[in-house]
A and B are shown apart, each in its own frame.
Chain A
Amino acid sequence: MSGRPAGPAAALRDAALSALVALGLFAGLIGLHLVPTDNGLRLVGRPWALAIVVLAVFVGRLLLLTWQRVRPSGAPATRRLAEAVTHAGRYVAPVFLLAAVALPLYGGRYMLDTGILVLTYVMLGWGLTIVVGLAGLLDLGYVAFYAVGAYSYALLATNFHLGFWTLLPVSGILAALWGVMLGFPVLRLRGDYLAIVTLAFGEIIRVVLINWTSLTGGSNGITDIPRPTLFGLKFNGSGDPDTFATFFHLPYSVTQRFVFLYYVILALALLTNWVSLRLRRLPLGRAWEALREDEVACRALGINVTITKLTAFGMGAMFGGFAGAFFATRQGFISPESFNFMESALVLSIVVLGGLGSQLGVALAAVVMIGGSELFRDFDEYRMLIFGLALVVMMVLRPRGLVAGRTPSIALGARREIAAELVAQGRG
């Protein structure tokens, strides 16, 4: 699409062209409809629906182009918006946190379940933000570390009968170790090349998990993964003295376990958030950001680029591993199918949508993407369409993500937001 303002005639021409593309695209998708009948399927035409969609594209494109022509010059507006969002963020974040902590009080079982899912992605998003947002290394295989964490927990728990709380740090450390091991050979690569290799690594892990049947159970996965306990108290309805319900003399209900799981993932996500916020203000985090801004200058200042990249990779992988261990214990069952490329892409789009390096943005994006796709569950076949449309609209309106801009890590006076235009996105 053209960045320059166009005249009315050019805008009309452009809109007509877009309508033509839409016609070609949707003629089959929307214009034709399969209707099940008694003797098989019948093809029905839907010319009106098609006409409405094409007209919507035409008008929408025209409006977009007109808006681009009449709006005031771009840069200061974005800057003001960035400042406004940051100011709002100061109030939005605590409200958000409060709502999250209080969720078990007002939400039902379905809400809790969705909340756990959303928080898992928030945590993954925050973990990946370290790698992509701060250090500027594009990682398309983040799900590999999620898988390493999940399988570490599942295998060690089922074979050696160790508890969740013992194995949580172990899973994280193992994932970090894999992150560093992958990092050593590939971090010499930059940009697109790095992205491709991380993508391949993600696939390798999945393929190994499928084929190493003797260890991982192959496609059948691992079942009967132990559930987490609260200081040794189990969450089940057996009535044993070491269950949560009996110990506190409560009637047993499944919700208790969900509430517990919800708070576990909330705590893990907040830990991720706290560590990455803290690291940002420390020399290590500052070096990551400097690396994203200019790798050559970093080297000239005596910063060991390899080690710095490895720490970012390892740190991101560790939080991915924690999330993986949680995923395994929540599901009670894992299989390689849970760790395909779509997961990596989903987490990455959460990070990009949220705004590279923005903690609040990532949380908002996760709520919108995961919660939103739960909301649109009824629209089944159109879910992905709405999802894609939302992404496109977002990238047109806010190309640098929901919360663009960057808060300085240290200041002599008041911290002032840095406009997104100045901040580099990293080239690997």
Chain B
Amino acid sequence: MAAPAPLLEVTHLLMRFGGLTAVSDLDFVARTGEITAVIGPNGAGKTTVFNCITGFYRPTSGALALMHADGHRYALERLPGHQIARRAKVARTFQNIRLFAGMTVLENLMVAQHNALMPSVVNGLLAVFGLGGHRAAERVALDKARGWLDTIGLLDRADDPAGALPYGAQRRLEIARAMCIDPVLLCLDEPAAGLNPRESEELSELLTRIRAGGCSILLIEHDMGVVMRISDHIVVLDHGKKISDGTPAEVRADPRVIAAYLGEGDEDEEPAPHDASAAA
């Protein structure tokens, strides 16, 4: 089977904060239709890579190229922040959930479709007088939001404030909100953090379903159970450098990966053999 087309190509990515080098000379490829996981001990530079890809940091040097199926190529390191979500269609979630807590679950999903609803400020202002085809666009957006609420099982809580949801539901809502921009690449920063085993199971299912729907996923995760179960491809970082890259089975067998995790002395993050049996 031929490898799928590359979706995101990271080449020679370098990110410095003053004297501190957070990421140095990083190369990796995320392929279309795959779940790519970025793992590594705390402080390895995973979130920094994410912030570079999603435009929250401007890399010191290096290139981040995103290829759409229609052949259009976006240089993410040069796009202004909001254009990465709007034009390049890269969506993200945050390590510490960032929902619009005082708005309802439904409103959160409607805000996410802002650009579809309001292509320009002029359209937005015309809508005050009921012009500019806003009604039809709103109906489409509402249907999409309802569809996602159904998928994440929050349809009956649509009119509750997002801040009042239980933690696991907030995680799912944040993913659904990101999916509402119709992304080609969904970047998830530790989506399983703080979830119980049942919720992690549901999350894995949700991510597999999103992948089946045609959206590729880039994932930072500490929960090795989730990573090993659903990833197609894993990139391992340590101290800002890539130390391993391959399928879950390859990475698990890599002595450098084991050394990095054991050297960190953190039992929870060790890709130990029992994880392998859990994945099997």
- Distance between Cα atoms of A284 and B99 in the complex (Å): 18
Identify which of B102-110, B233-241, B270-278 touches chain A. B102-110
Q: For A298, what are the chain B residues with a Cβ–Cβ distance below 8 Å?
A: 111
Question: CB distance A305 to B159 under 8 Å?
Answer: no
Classify chain A: how many residues form its interface, as a range. 35 or more
Encode contact with B along A355-367: 1 for CB under 8 Å, 0 otherwise.
0000000000000
Q: Given the known inter-chain contacts A283-B118, A286-B111, A411-B158, please indicate yes or no for A300 contacting B102, CB distance below 8 A.
A: no
Question: CB distance A300 to B163 under 8 Å?
Answer: no
Q: Which of B82, B124, B164, B178 contacts A299 (CB 8 A)?
A: B82
Q: For A418, what are the chain B residues with a Cβ–Cβ distance below 8 Å?
A: 102-104, 161
Encode contact with A along B142-185: 1 for CB under 8 Å, 0 otherwise.
10001000000001001111011000000000000110010000
In the complex, residue of chain B having the shortest beta-carbon distance to the beta carbon of A315: B125
- Distance between Cα atoms of A311 and B161 in the complex (Å): 26
- Distance between Cα atoms of A163 and B85 in the complex (Å): 48
Question: CB distance B103 to A412 under 8 Å?
Answer: no
Give, as a whole number of angstroms, the nearest-CB distance from A323 to chain B. 19
Question: CB distance B82 to A275 under 8 Å?
Answer: no
A residues 269-316 touching B (CB-CB < 8 Å): 275, 278-279, 282-284, 286-287, 289-290, 293-294, 296-305, 307, 311
B residues 68-84 touching A (CB-CB < 8 Å): 81-84
Question: CB distance A296 to B98 under 8 Å?
Answer: yes
Instruction: Tell me how many residue pairs across A and B have CB atoms closer than 8 Å.
Output: 135
Q: For A307, what are the chain B residues with a Cβ–Cβ distance below 8 Å?
A: 121
B residues 225-266 touching A (CB-CB < 8 Å): none
Give, as a whole number of angstroms, the nearest-CB distance from B5 to chain A. 24
Question: CB distance A301 to B181 under 8 Å?
Answer: yes
* Of A289, A300, A303, A413, most B-chain CB atoms within 10 Å: A300
Q: Given the known inter-chain contacts A418-B104, A424-B101, please indicate yes or no for A301 contacting B146, CB distance below 8 A.
A: no
Q: Which of A406, A410, A412 contacts B102 (CB 8 A)?
A: A406
Q: For B155, what are the chain A residues with a Cβ–Cβ distance below 8 Å?
A: 412
- Distance between Cα atoms of A284 and B101 in the complex (Å): 18
**Residues of A bordering B, CB below 8 Å:** 275, 278-279, 282-284, 286-287, 289-290, 293-294, 296-305, 307, 311, 406, 408-416, 418-419, 422-424
The 10 closest A-B pairs by CB, nearest first: A302-B85, A423-B102, A302-B86, A293-B100, A284-B124, A283-B118, A283-B117, A297-B98, A422-B163, A290-B111
Q: Would you mind naming 12 contact pairs between A and B with Cβ atoms under 8 Å apart?
A: A289-B103, A296-B94, A298-B111, A300-B56, A300-B178, A301-B114, A301-B177, A301-B181, A302-B181, A408-B107, A410-B110, A412-B106
Known pairs A284-B125, A297-B98, A410-B142. 8 more at Cβ < 8 A? Answer: A299-B55, A300-B91, A302-B85, A311-B125, A410-B107, A411-B158, A412-B146, A413-B159
